[in-house]
Amino acid sequence: MSVDPFADFHLETRIAERAGIAGFRIETDAIEVIARHARAVLERNKELQLTTVTEPEEFLERHIGESLEGAALVDFRARGRLLDLGSGNGYPAIPLVATHRGLEAVCVEASAGKAAFLNEVFAASSGMGQVWNKQVQRPNDFEDMISIRVLSSRAMGNWERIFPRMARMLAPDGIAMLWAGETVGEIAARDSWRRLNLVARHALPRRQRSWIWCFRAVR
């Protein structure tokens, strides 16, 4: 029997409290999904190297909390497809779809081991989405992907090239969200980003010079 990596931390209660700090009330079923995922990340971390953040308090803030901050920026009535690029350990995608049940996630992850892990997480929470184990560089890599309601990425390499290429795939009410530092402001001013319009920059609590950058497609 595995040892709970969040023993004596009261993880479910802390998730509910952290959602309140982000500005919304989280449902019990969403808390269960997020807590189960968090435990799985730490239980499989030594094998798959999913995170360097293993202390419960820091894990809650850096992974769950920062994902919930993004969840608060998406309309809770939103329906459609969430495309998460470079999903890695599943943040922010899994908290986003757990709190927005009208969204179906497609997590794109190049590592076969991490993709298999994400498939296991989805299997434990049926109906949330799917995982694509592949490299992506341009819209043609996404086969039948159209009308993305939420495009998200956190710490994905080469985002400055890939993100603007995805603009034409956003739904009319779609939003592109990037968890990144201050260089985004300069990069977003480049001509190659002309199809995306910066609409918000949300500061991440307890972090210096780190934000969630929100874009809409220019029509």
pLDDT digits (tens, 9 = 90+) for 140-187: 676 666 689 999 999 788 899 999 988 989 999 999 999 999 999 999
Q: List pLDDT tens digits, range 185-204.
A: 999 999 999 999 999 999 99
3-state DSSP call for residue 144? coil
DSSP state of 185: H
The Cα 58–Cα 74 span in angstroms is 24
Position 51 scores a pLDDT of 97
Q: What is the DSSP string of 155-167?
A: S-TTHHHHHHHTG
Residue with the bigger pLDDT between 22 and 168: it is 22
Segment holding 198, helix H or strand E: strand 196-203
**Sheet strand arrangement including 196-203:** 129-132, 103-108, 80-85, 148-154, 170-181, 210-217, 196-203
Record the pTM: 0.94
CATH level 2 (architecture), domain 11-217: 3-Layer(aba) Sandwich (3.40)
Domain limits of the chain? Answer: 11-217
